[in-house]
């Protein structure tokens, strides 16, 4: 699932995430900005 794939100006943004079609479990997401890359874990509990 891809939430955003575009160049944005510096600033703060909010993205709505709808996990209603996903199963409960552990998911990983990756944030990339220039040379910065961060992979984080998200736990989805229904």
pLDDT digits (tens, 9 = 90+) for 14-34: 999 899 999 999 999 999 888
- Determine whether 13 is exposed, middle or buried from the number of CB atoms within 10 Å of its CB (0-12, 13-18, 19+): exposed
Q: Give me the residue label for tokens 């955003």.
A: 4
Q: Is the pLDDT of residue 45 over 90?
A: yes
Q: How confident is the model at residue 39 (pLDDT cuts 50, 70, 90)?
A: very high
Domain boundaries, the chain: 21-46
pTM above 0.75, yes or no: no
């Amino acid at each position: 699932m891809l939430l955003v794939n575009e160049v944005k100006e510096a600033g703060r943004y909010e993205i709505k995430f709808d996990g209603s079609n996903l199963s409960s479990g552990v998911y990983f997401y990756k944030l990339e900005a220039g040379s910065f890359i961060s992979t984080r874990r998200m736990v989805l509990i229904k």
